[in-house]
Chains A and B, each alone.
Chain A
Amino acid sequence: MSRFLPEPSKISKPFWDSCKAEAMQIQKCGDCGTYIFYPVYICPECASRALAWTPVSGKGSVHTFTVAEKSVFEEVEGPVVVALIELEEGAMMTSNIRTDDPYGVRIGMPVSLAYEKVSEDFTFPVFEPVR
C-alpha cells in the first residue's frame, strides 16, 4: 500500500505544522510541567487545560524498537526501524530511526531529532543515532 499520511485534527495541527517548519513542538502542561505527546485536550496527569505548545531539544533515547526487512509502504525502502523514542523532556513518541546500520540499533542508544519530508504537506519527525 502507499504511504499512509495523517489527517490532522484541531489539536494536532500545531504539531504537524511545527514538524513542517522543522522546529517540532509538543504540548507542555502549564500547571504540573509534564511534556505530553500525542496532542491532547487536557493534561492526562493533572487534568489542567493550560497546555502550551513548546519546543523540544530533539535529544532522546531508544525505549524499544523493531526492524522489519521490508516497509509496509511501497515508497519506503527497507529495512525499516520502527521505534518508541523517549524524549529528553520525558514524553515518548513512536517514530522511525534513520540509519545506515538498522541492525545496529540498540535500546538506550542516544538519538537526535531529524526531519523527513514525505509529501508536499507533511514532514515527519524521525530520529538518527548520535554519532
Chain B
Amino acid sequence: MLRPGSEAVIAGLGEPPVGRLIGKNPTELHIDAAMLAIEDSGIDKHDIDGLMTTGTFLNDNIRHHMIIGEQLGIHCKLFADTLRSGGHSYLNGVQIAKWAVESGLCKAVLLLRGDTTLSGVPKGTALKAYIEYGAHPIEFEVPFGITVPGVYAMLAQRHMHEYGTTSEQLANIAVACRKHAALNPKAFKRDPITVDDVVNSRMVSTPLHLLDCSPTCDGAGAVLITSLERARDLKAKPVRILGLGQAQSYYHLAHLARATGARPEDKSRFSLTKTVQSVAAERAFGMAGVKPTDIDVAELYDSFTITVLMQFEDLGYCAKGEGGAFAAGGRIELGGELPVNTHGGLLSFGSSGGINHIIEAARQMRGEGGARQVKDAKLALATNVSAVASNHSIAILGRD
C-alpha cells in the first residue's frame, strides 16, 4: 500500500505547435516540449531525475535519451531510456514513470516525444523508411506489398464482413474529430468535413478512404510525472493516474488473427477484430474502480477510423460488432454521451504518436480545455494503440 501523497500524478504538460514545421528538427521539438512542461509545472529542472524519450522515425540513435538529456542539461538520471514500441510507447512511458516514482527510485520523470514525420522525410522515401523501421514483418508480409493503411484496411474489411459495419459509420469518427479540431486553434486540420466528404475522398486501400487515415504531421509533447505531494507544491493542478492497463499480442497478421499459442479456452476471445485491449481495459477499469460509462471524456488513439471503432467494443462501451452504431448520432461528439478526441485526435489535431492523447486527457482534468472543455469532467480515458491493433495501453485519469 502506498503512503498517501506518494502516488504518481501528472504534474506538467508541454505541447508545442503541430503541423508542417519547416526548419524544426526532432531534437529541437523535444527541447521545445520539455521546456514547456518544465515551465507549466514550475519544477526546478534539477529535481528531474528520470527521462524517457521515444526515438525518431529517421536517423534514430541508440543514445537518443542521452542526446536529449544532454541538450536539456539534465545531468544525472536515476532512470533513463528510449522507448520504441511505436504508437503505444507514450502510455507505456506513463506506466514506467509511475513505477519509478512510486517505488521511490525517481522524484520526477519527464516523458518526451518529438518528430518531423511530415517535413523531415524526403518525398518518396517514407515507404522504404517504414520497412527499415520495422513497421511490418519484413520477410513474410512486406514482399507482398503490405502498407500501414493496408493492414488497418484488412481489419476494417474483416469487421465489415463479420458485423456489417459500414464506411459511413467509420466516417462518423473522422467527422467528430474534425468538429473538435475546429474548436482547437492549434489543430492541423480544422476545415469542417461531412460523412459524404469522407466516403467520397480518395480510396487509399479498400475499404479505407483518405479521410479515414490520420495525416502525416510534425509534432511533439511532454508529460511530467511526480508524486502527488511534490506536485501540490508546484504550479499546475495535479492530475491523478487512477488506472493503467496494458496488453500486447502479435506482430504477424497470421498469428494475430488466430491467437496462436493462447490457452485453448481463450482462443475464441481474440481475433483480428477482437483485440487484447479488452484485457488492458479490465485491468485499468478494475484498478480505478470505475466503469466505462463513468468516463466523461475519452482520448482514443486514432491512427485510422477503424482503430477507434474497435476500441468502443474492446473498452466495453458496446457489444462486439456494435462499434459502428455506437459512433453514430453524435454520441461521440462534444455534448454527447462520450466525447472522443476533444483535441481533434491524430485524425485532425495531428502531431505524431500518442502523447497528445495523454496531454489532452490531462488538460481536460485540469479544466483547461477552453472551447472544447467537457463541463464538470471528472474522469478521462486515454489510449495508445500500435502495430495493427496488437499493442495497447490505457490510462484513466482523474482530478485531484
Binding site for B on A (CB under 8 A): 1, 3-9, 12, 36-38, 44-45, 63-69, 71-73, 76, 80, 82-84, 91-96, 103, 107-108, 124
Contact = CB atoms under 8 A, between A and B. Distances in A.
B139 A84 contact: no
Q: Lowest 6 A-B CB distances belong to which pairs? A: A66-B153, A92-B254, A64-B158, A44-B261, A107-B161, A67-B206
Interface of B: 127-128, 131, 137-147, 150-151, 153-155, 157-158, 161, 203-208, 252-255, 257-258, 260-261, 272
Nearest to B267: A45
Nearest to A69: B203
Contact of A96 (B137, B145, B206): B145
A63 B207 CA distance: 15
A127 B154 CA distance: 17
A76 to B, nearest CB: 7
16 contacts: A3-B143, A4-B131, A63-B272, A64-B154, A64-B158, A64-B257, A66-B206, A68-B147, A68-B205, A84-B272, A91-B254, A93-B140, A93-B254, A94-B252, A107-B161, A108-B161
A5 B258 CA distance: 26
Most chain-A CB neighbours within 10 Å: which of B141, B143, B150, B208?
B143
A66 B143 contact: no
Contacts of B261: 44-45
A63 B260 contact: no
B136 to A, nearest CB: 9
A4 B142 contact: yes
Contacts of A96: 144-145
A7 B143 CA distance: 10
Chain B interface secondary structure, helix, strand, loop or mixed? mixed
Given A64-B272, A92-B257, A94-B254, A76 B145 contact: yes
A63 B158 contact: yes
A67 B141 contact: no
Nearest to B252: A38
A92 B142 contact: no
Contacts of B145: 68, 71-73, 76, 80, 82, 96
A110 B141 CA distance: 21
Contacts of A95: 144
A68 B143 CA distance: 15
A93 B204 CA distance: 23
Given A63-B257, A72-B127, A124 B153 contact: no
A114 B257 CA distance: 23
B260 A44 contact: yes
Contact of B253 (A91, A94, A103, A124): A94
Given A1-B127, A66-B205, A94-B254, A82 B146 contact: yes
B333 to A, nearest CB: 29
A91 B161 CA distance: 20
A64 B151 CA distance: 10
Contacts of B143: 3-6, 124
Nearest to A36: B260
Contacts of A73: 145
B144 A64 contact: no
Contacts of A92: 253-255, 257-258
